[in-house]
Amino acid sequence: MADGLTSLPIAEEMLAAASESGLDLRAVLDGDDEQLRATEIAQPALLLVECALRSTLSSELDVVAVAGHSVGEYAAAVAAGALAPADAMRVVVERGRAMASMREGTMSALLGIDADAASEVCGDAERETGEIVVVANHNAPGQLVISGTRAGVDAAARLAMERGARRVIPLNVSGAFHSPLMTAAATRFAQTLDAATVSDPLPPVVCNVDGRPVRSAAELRERLRAQLTAPVRWIDCVQSLVELGAETLIEVGPCAVLSGLARRIVPGTPTVSVSSAEAGARLDPAMVAG
């Protein structure tokens, strides 16, 4: 996952911060990939890789705005200068621990159903079962994720299939992320976030909570605090990037999932995936605009 990246200066800084926070991330990255599946490990690992890859891109890129999906929003904040890399790592280590401590609930992806229909089946499932279930991720048209108690998610999944969803995919997660079941985790995590130094982002960060750009430290802190219990409005985020003038969308991360989603959200907008240091070094600013 981090081949050739851990020796970069930003990675060394972030690995040291993780170690200070009680997480030997270097040992995990050098060990069994199975360990990386745990939420409390996966989140800091993703942050490290995304920030390290971003550091390989040319400073001559004309970046009009940045965004990140869920924990990726912290990498976006680093890219925008709103969080120092080491501070972001300390915050995300605690975010992962807080979320991992909430073992109740699950998530499922709904394919072939629109946002209004998904919200309706969640509401009907809640009334039917008395359990919590909400739309947690608006990933792309026809690709949504629901989150809640197991009974609530099961009921909503059944109703979705009855009403025309093409497929339901249970997700291998440890909790009901981006739902009200994360309230206790959000309260615990808020103490760490409030203690962190946050600066005004430049360029703006397009935030998951509402899909709109923020330009002040106070606004960004507020959105990050709300993010654990609020849905990830990724469709709105991608549309906002284009509205702000982005002519090419550059995904920085270990795989090309978000590039695929973007092609469905804003067809015709070019996308580039940077998943290695070599790919970052090869990216010519003259080949991408916006």
Quick: pLDDT tens for 245-287: 999 999 999 888 999 999 999 999 999 999 988 888 888 786 5
Mean pLDDT along residues 37-51: 94
80 and 202 Cβ atoms separated by less than 8 Å: yes
Mean pLDDT along residues 110-138: 98
**Does residue 138 belong to any structural domain of this protein?**
yes
258 and 87 Cβ atoms separated by less than 8 Å: no
Mean pLDDT along residues 68-82: 98
**Does residue 4 belong to any structural domain of this protein?**
no
Instruction: Kindly report the average pLDDT of the chain as a whole number.
Output: 94
262 and 272 Cβ atoms separated by less than 8 Å: no
Annotated catalytic residue 179: no
Domain boundary among 128, 152, 173: 173
Confidence label for 288 from pLDDT (cuts 50, 70 and 90): low
258 and 67 Cβ atoms separated by less than 8 Å: no
Quick: pLDDT tens for 78-119: 999 999 999 999 999 999 999 999 888 999 999 999 999 999
d(CA 17, CA 23): 9
Indicate whether 64 and 197 sit together in one domain: yes
Mean pLDDT along residues 1-28: 89
Indicate whether 84 and 203 sit together in one domain: yes
Angle at the Cα of 27 (from 21 to 30), degrees rounded to 5? 140
Half-sphere exposure of residue 43, counting CA atoms within 13 Å on the CB side? Answer: 25
Indicate whether 246 and 122 sit together in one domain: no
- C-alpha of 177 from chain center: 11
Reduce the DSSP state of residue 143 to 3 states and report it: strand
**CATH number of the domain enclosing 261:** 3.40.366.10
Task: State residue 282's pLDDT score.
Answer: 87
Q: Which of 70, 108, 179, 259 is catalytic?
A: 70
Indicate whether 90 and 234 sit together in one domain: yes
Percent of the chain scoring above 90 in pLDDT: 84
Indicate whether 90 and 124 sit together in one domain: no
Number of independent structural domains in the chain: 2
Indicate whether 95 and 220 sit together in one domain: yes
**Does residue 185 belong to any structural domain of this protein?**
yes
Indicate whether 96 and 152 sit together in one domain: no
Indicate whether 151 and 232 sit together in one domain: no
Task: Residue 208: give the domain boundaries.
Answer: 9-101+181-287
**Does residue 3 belong to any structural domain of this protein?**
no
DSSP-based helix, strand, coil % in the chain, nearest 5:
50, 15, 35
Indicate whether 187 and 165 sit together in one domain: no
Q: Which of 69, 178, 240, 273 is catalytic?
A: 178
d(CA 78, CA 275): 18
Task: State residue 100's pLDDT score.
Answer: 93
d(CA 243, CA 238): 9
Mean pLDDT along residues 174-200: 95
d(CA 288, CA 64): 12
Domain boundary among 142, 157, 173: 173
Task: State residue 2's pLDDT score.
Answer: 61
Q: What are phi and psi of 64, to 5 degrees?
A: -90, -25
Rounded to the nearest 10 degrees, what angle do helices 85-100 and 39-55 cross at?
160
Domain boundary among 153, 173, 193: 173
Quick: pLDDT tens for 210-256: 999 999 999 999 999 999 999 999 999 999 999 999 999 999 998 88
Indicate whether 165 and 278 sit together in one domain: no
**Full 3-state SS string of 61-74:** CCCCCEECCCCHHH
Indicate whether 195 and 251 sit together in one domain: yes
**CATH number of the domain enclosing 140:** 3.30.70.250
Percent of the chain scoring above 70 in pLDDT: 97
Annotated catalytic residue 58: no
**Does residue 64 belong to any structural domain of this protein?**
yes
- C-alpha of 220 from chain center: 15
- If 0-12 CB within 10 Å is exposed, 13-18 middle and 19+ buried, where does residue 162 land? exposed
Question: Any idea which residue has 């990050």 for tokens?
Answer: 224
Residue 289 has pLDDT above 50, yes or no: no
CA-to-CA dists, residue 259 to 98, 178, 210, 234, angstroms: 29, 22, 20, 12
Name the strand (E) or helix (H) holding 161: helix 150-162
